[in-house]
Amino acid sequence: MEFDVVIIGAGASGVMCGSVIKDKRVAIIDSGAKIAKKIMVTGNGRCNLTNANVTSEFYNTNIDRFLKRFDEKKTLEFFKKLGLVTYSDEEGRVYPISNSAKSVVDVLNFGLKENVSSFLNEKVSKVERIGGEFIVQTEKNTIRAKVLVVATGGNSSQILNQLGVKHREFAPSLVSFKSDGTRDLNGVRLSNVLVKARNNFGEEKSERGEVLFRENGLSGIVIFNLSTIFARRGDFFGEVEIDVLPDIPLEKLTKMLAKRKELSIRLDKFFVGMFQNAVANEIFKQSKMNTNVLSTKLTEQDLLKLAKTIKGLRFKIIGHLENNQVFSGGVPLEELDENLMSKEIPNLYFIGEIVDVDGVCGGYNLQWAWTSGHIVGECL
Ligand SMILES: Cc1cc2nc3c(=O)[nH]c(=O)nc-3n(C[C@H](O)[C@H](O)[C@H](O)COP(=O)(O)OP(=O)(O)OC[C@H]3O[C@@H](n4cnc5c(N)ncnc54)[C@H](O)[C@@H]3O)c2cc1C
């Protein structure tokens, strides 16, 4: 079968691209049974499709030149024209007003016109370029076109290797940390804490918000965002430090604890009314203090040590858990021209997560999918 353009991957970026291409015969191929199936799970089923404030600072690399051509405002206009009604929350995260990701998928389906033929349930097993033409092999069909757009998402090394395209190794990002020091805190949720992560390359990143403890690690949006400094190095070893009371300076906290000392209670009850039991136990454990004594025995040094631990609970990071939201890595922007076409292989384009662009939580990754998909669709 012959087409003008073949898009491999009917995810966010591929569908955006396909819906923008006019007056060309387009084939869009996906191994899934439906288009944009991953969108259904985004934003906990609500689809945080973009953010009211998108700039390069939320990504691993500068994408200003692409955002200038198709930013969050243009994205919202695009979706509005298709009938999608949206709202944004206090952090600028944009969702469909239905709070259902299906609304986004439905309008994307409207956007695909008759010039686009979908080949679903067809996994691409081989891609070749012979005589200036791309030959895309699925289990059922051989599809040929002069132009190929690869929109297969993260972890797409196989296709990149087949095409001989240079890329950075893919590594899970926006992912929970694995730790062997969190077992006793399993199920605890700490809100409004300040978390600092440090990787083994001396890089640090801090975020404020909520942390969820699991038996084997730490999770939550703050942790996902901090995981980017590990993913971008492809190395998940380091440490997190949690300031449990970031609004109370160390000195003030030490004085507060000195007053509590006068309660004359056993240390295992010292933090009752202040921290959950599991957190209190962890503070004593990390302070290396015996709780089998009365608070009146606490010295000034002990109080300072406890205050320091509260302002810096430490956990070793020894890897990541499953279920990452995106992959870091892929085709570097330096390998692509201003229209995201390969500088080495003419008429070969890359869009979405397969490009080495990854953002933090908040709608930034889908925004890159819309931006890159639209730019390529428009230039074809
Ligand atoms: C649980 C979860 C929640 C998320 N929530 C958000 C959110 O709220 N906001 C946000 O901005 N981002 C979110 N993301 C990230 C976002 O989903 C991705 O950044 C985005 O989907 C990337 O779009 P894409 O088009 O590059 O790839 P994808 O959407 O992954 O699409 C790639 C498509 O290619 C197809 N494909 C791959 N290989 C082949 C092959 N060999 N043959 C045929 N087809 C193939 C796949 O089936 C898939 O449909 C979330 C991700 C996850 C996993």
User: Percent of the chain at pLDDT above 70?
Assistant: 100
Mean pLDDT of 7-17: 98
User: To which H or E segment does residue 303 belong?
Assistant: helix 300-310
Classify 250-311 by CATH class. Answer: mainly alpha
Is any atom of ligand 1 closer than 6 Å to the C-beta of 12?
A: yes
Which ligand 1 atom is at minimum distance from the Cα of 9?
34
Mean pLDDT of 50-78: 98
Amino acid symbol at 239? E
Listed in order, strand segments (DSSP E) in the chain are 2-8, 26-29, 50-51, 86-88, 93-96, 116-119, 124-130, 133-138, 142-150, 168-173, 177-178, 189-199, 204-214, 217-219, 237-243, 313-320, 326-330, 348-350
Is any atom of ligand 1 closer than 6 Å to the C-beta of 96?
A: no
Backbone CA torsion sign across 223, 177, 285, 304: negative
Q: Residue with structure tokens 């950075």? A: 168
Amino acid symbol at 81? K
How many angstroms separate the CA atoms of 168 and 189, rounded? 35
Is any atom of ligand 1 closer than 6 Å to the C-beta of 366?
A: yes
For position 238, what pLDDT does the model report? 98
**Mean pLDDT over each residue of the chain, to the nearest integer:** 97
Which SS3 state, helix, strand or coil, does residue 328 take? strand
All structural domains of the chain with their residue ranges: 2-172+327-379, 177-244+314-320, 250-311
- Architecture of domain 2-172+327-379 in CATH? 3-Layer(bba) Sandwich (3.50)
Q: Label residue 299 by pLDDT band (50, 70, 90).
A: very high
Is any atom of ligand 1 closer than 6 Å to the C-beta of 50?
A: no
How many angstroms separate the CA atoms of 253 and 271, rounded? 13
Whose Cα sits closest to atom 23 in ligand 1?
Answer: 12
For position 370, what pLDDT does the model report? 98
Two tokens, residue 348: 């070969």
Report CA-CA distances (Å) from 358 to 73, 94, 137, 193, 282.
Answer: 20, 18, 29, 25, 34
Is any atom of ligand 1 closer than 6 Å to the C-beta of 43?
A: yes
CB atoms within 10 A of CB 123: 13
User: What's the CA-to-centroid distance between 56 and ligand 1, angstroms?
Assistant: 20
pTM of the model: 0.96
Q: Label residue 157 by pLDDT band (50, 70, 90).
A: very high
How many angstroms separate the CA atoms of 133 and 310, rounded? 62
pLDDT in tens, 246-282: 999 999 999 999 999 999 999 999 999 999 999 999 9
Whose Cα sits closest to atom 49 in ligand 1?
Answer: 11
For position 109, what pLDDT does the model report? 95
